[in-house]
Structure 1
Amino acid sequence: MDPRSEVVIRQHEYLSGRVLLANAPTDDLLSNLGNDIETQVWTWNFNEYQYFQNQQANVHFGVDVPESPFDQAIIFVPKSKELLNYLLHNIVSRLSEGASIFLVGEKKAGVERAAKQLQPFGKSIKLDSARHCQMWQLTLDKTVQAKSLADWAQQYNVATPNGDLTICALPGVFSQNRLDVGTAVLLPYLSQVTSGKIADFGCGAGVISAYLAKLNPKNRIFAMDVDAFALESTRMTFAQNKLAPEQLEIKAVTGIEDAPLFLHAIVSNPPFHQGIKTDYNASENLCKTSRRHLKSGGELWIVANRFLNYPILIEQNFGQCTTKADQQGFKVLFANTQKK
């Protein structure tokens, strides 16, 4: 069991009524809480959503707080400070004065720093410190009005051959404040991508998706990500730039196996983090299995850290891999399926 869950179980007497668990670990925590507690899980990670569904848990996937009422909330500290601010603000807006919010996290994940973010909402005390984790209790002495989702988005501009794009990125989304180096290295090559039905795997704030849509209004983009905040950011980016809604299909995925078939191209700055942990599974599977989602003559375009073994994996599965660029620590890799 996750040590954060063990700390919650140790302090279960503080829990009562309807309890919302935000960003909960995928373990047996729910079955170890008392029968007098009615739990609801809020996650924005599609893998975790499917895990809790399989557990027959009451689970909500999305960027908004679940609509059903709750009396208390437990927030498991996310990686992003901005995302924690978002969670706190929105959960506080649904509770009344005197209600409790519990914050749980590992010391190495910054739980002590995160606990300081409780201060604007009331008095907080440390309930427990064990298994390299801490659990804090916030007692609300105020409530707040929820803000619109757009108020939480950061914006920055990206140049394209057809004019600038305004990127909208919500809290916790990769590269929220500026264009990341890897994507910047890839963008000049997007004009070489074959047009048609294109998947952007790990779409983030929608930079690649919007760039491809702006390059060619005939492109149909499948923006895919595990993270609901990324998917919503991509939707906001398309709306902000007045790109045709029919060009975009948003798809929550667990991996490339959920991509459509018969794609003309797959383009990706592939993800390699799950929370604070490094995880190359999704991006390695992309290299190994994306071929089966492409039409004959379909293309794979990836930008990745220079040190990763993606060229070998791509070559093993496509028969060839071309390095289109090697700069600033990143490689732009290209492969295609052989036309019959």
Structure 2
Amino acid sequence: MDPRSEVLLRQAELFGGRVLLAGLPADDLLGSLPAASGWSWHAGDQSALEARFAGRSHFGVEVPDTDFDSAVLFLPKSRELADYLLQALAARLPGAALYLVGEKRGGIERAGKQQLAAYGKPRKLDSARHCQLWQVSVETPPPAPDLNALAQTFSLSLADGPLQVVSLPGVFSHGRLDRGSALLLLHLDGLPSGPLLDFGCGAGVIGATLKRRYPDSAVTLLDVDAFAVASSRLTLAANGLDAEVIAGDGIRCAPRELAAIISNPPFHQGVHTDYQATETLLREAASHLLGKGQMRLVANSFLRYAPLIEQHLGACRTLAEDDGFRVYQANRG
């Protein structure tokens, strides 16, 4: 059981009714709270929850259209995302209880004191398992937020013209181009013809660039996060581009028979470091590539991905190294 869930269950009498658990982990919490429902924006968690508790958890970027009398937000890493989620939940809970739970090292004390204060007088209910549980009675319900109005748009000057990028709260490198993607953008020439995949698409910078540069290739953008998927769709639309965007937990959700996989893969999940998605990508990329298909990947220089690439795919070349990042290329052997 996730330690945040354990803290909730220490106060189980508060959560016996129709409570919405927003951003819940994929553990047995729904089993312990039979009247509760879930709201997830992580495709992997949602898949696990659906398998165990069919129909009780909803996936997406908007508050589910379901009845609930109180809500618990599992504090996300991004403050902007937390602001949006708290406002969206508080708008549905006039006079009712809104709870916030999170890890101490994730900033729960600050969030409990500061972010909940917009809706009433917050109070700490419990502290255990290196986590805290906070509560506020929504005295001043806000209007429901317009998620698209919270998007940040910026323009990239690329060789083939400006690209408009639209990112939503919580998406990696929100409102700016990260250094890894900037380096990868300089090394997207000469890809093999055929279907292309942007793995871990974020706001869609790489995928949109690929579609514009290779208009005759089918391009798929894949991310585990619903807010990233929504951002990528906005970025494609802002540039008049048409590509498939899918939510999925890792490379197993990607199409087969790809000409190339291009990625600036994530290695953080919440406040924890997590390399699993990238290591699984490297182990299984070959099964998604055509016979001479190619993978092109950017990563922090300190991450030892080259041996994994060579073990599971083929000879690995370093195309570029700059500013603490490397661009690797390998063809399926």
Same fold (TM over 0.5): yes
TM-score under structure 2 length normalisation: 0.96
How far 1:255 moved relative to its partner?
1.1
Query: 1-side partners of 2:16 and 2:250: how far apart?
Result: 37
Q: What amino acid maps onto 2:97 in structure 1?
A: S
> What is the DSSP-based 3-state SS (H/G/I as helix, E as strand, rest coil) of the residue aligned with 1:42?
strand
How far 1:14 moved relative to its partner?
2.3
Q: Which residue number corresponds to residue 99 of structure 1?
A: 96
How far 1:315 moved relative to its partner?
1.0
Q: Which residue number corresponds to residue 240 of structure 1?
A: 238
Q: What amino acid maps onto 1:13 in structure 2?
A: E
Q: Which residue number corresponds to residue 334 of structure 1?
A: 329
What whole-Å deviation, never above 9, does each CA across 1:187-231 have from its counterpart, x for those lacking one?
011122223310000000000001111213212211001111101
Q: Which residue number corresponds to residue 283 of structure 2?
A: 288
Establish whether residue 169 from structure 1 lines up as the match of residue 164 from structure 2: no
Q: Which residue number corresponds to residue 267 of structure 1?
A: 262
Q: Which residue number corresponds to residue 210 of structure 2?
A: 212
Q: Which residue number corresponds to residue 134 of structure 2?
A: 136
Count residues with an aligned counterpart.
Answer: 331
Identify which of 39, 42, 60 aligns with 1:42.
39
Do the aligned residues in 2 keep the contact of 1:206 with 1:223 (CA within 8 Å)? yes
How far 1:337 moved relative to its partner?
2.2
> What is the DSSP-based 3-state SS (H/G/I as helix, E as strand, rest coil) of the residue aligned with 2:67?
coil
Do the aligned residues in 1 keep the contact of 2:42 with 2:226 (CA within 8 Å)? yes
How far 1:121 moved relative to its partner?
1.2
Query: 1-side partners of 2:304 and 2:161: how far apart?
Result: 35
Establish whether residue 303 from structure 1 lines up as the match of residue 303 from structure 2: no
Establish whether residue 113 from structure 1 lines up as the match of residue 106 from structure 2: no
Q: Which residue number corresponds to residue 258 of structure 1?
A: 253
Do the aligned residues in 2 keep the contact of 1:267 with 1:300 (CA within 8 Å)? yes
Identify which of 313, 320, 324 aligns with 1:325.
320
Q: What amino acid maps onto 2:52 in structure 1?
A: Q
How far 1:270 moved relative to its partner?
0.7
> What is the DSSP-based 3-state SS (H/G/I as helix, E as strand, rest coil) of the residue aligned with 1:213?
helix
Q: Which residue number corresponds to residue 147 of structure 1?
A: 145
Q: Which residue number corresponds to residue 3 of structure 2?
A: 3
What whole-Å deviation, never above 9, does each CA across 1:168-198 have from its counterpart, x for those lacking one?
1111110002100011111011122223310
**CA RMSD in angstroms, aligned pairs only:** 1.3
Do the aligned residues in 1 keep the contact of 2:22 with 2:39 (CA within 8 Å)? yes
How far 1:114 moved relative to its partner?
1.1
Do the aligned residues in 1 keep the contact of 2:30 with 2:53 (CA within 8 Å)? no
> What is the DSSP-based 3-state SS (H/G/I as helix, E as strand, rest coil) of the residue aligned with 1:190?
coil
Q: Which residue number corresponds to residue 279 of structure 1?
A: 274
Identify which of 53, 56, 64 aligns with 1:56.
53
How far 1:16 moved relative to its partner?
4.6
Query: 2-side partners of 1:226 and 1:209: how far apart?
Result: 15
> What is the DSSP-based 3-state SS (H/G/I as helix, E as strand, rest coil) of the residue aligned with 2:44?
helix
How far 1:13 moved relative to its partner?
2.1
What whole-Å deviation, never above 9, does each CA across 1:82-130 have from its counterpart, x for those lacking one?
110010111112222x111011111111101111101111121111112
Shift in CA distance, 3/317, structure 1 to aligned 2, threshold 3 Å: closer
Query: 2-side partners of 1:295 and 1:320: how far apart?
Result: 16
Q: What amino acid maps onto 2:3 in structure 1?
A: P
What whole-Å deviation, never above 9, does each CA across 1:47-89 have from its counterpart, x for those lacking one?
1001111222501011111011211000111111011001011
Query: 2-side partners of 1:274 and 1:259: how far apart?
Result: 20
Query: 2-side partners of 1:195 and 1:209: how far apart?
Result: 15
Q: Which residue number corresponds to residue 13 of structure 2?
A: 13
Query: Unpaired segments of 5 or more residues in structure 2?
Result: none
> What is the DSSP-based 3-state SS (H/G/I as helix, E as strand, rest coil) of the residue aligned with 2:160?
coil
Query: Unpaired segments of 5 or more residues in structure 1?
Result: none
Identify which of 218, 224, 227 aligns with 2:225.
227
Do the aligned residues in 2 keep the contact of 1:19 with 1:40 (CA within 8 Å)? yes
Query: 1-side partners of 2:217 and 2:156: how far apart?
Result: 19
Shift in CA distance, 195/93, structure 1 to aligned 2, threshold 3 Å: farther
| Moved segments of 4+, more than 6 Å | none
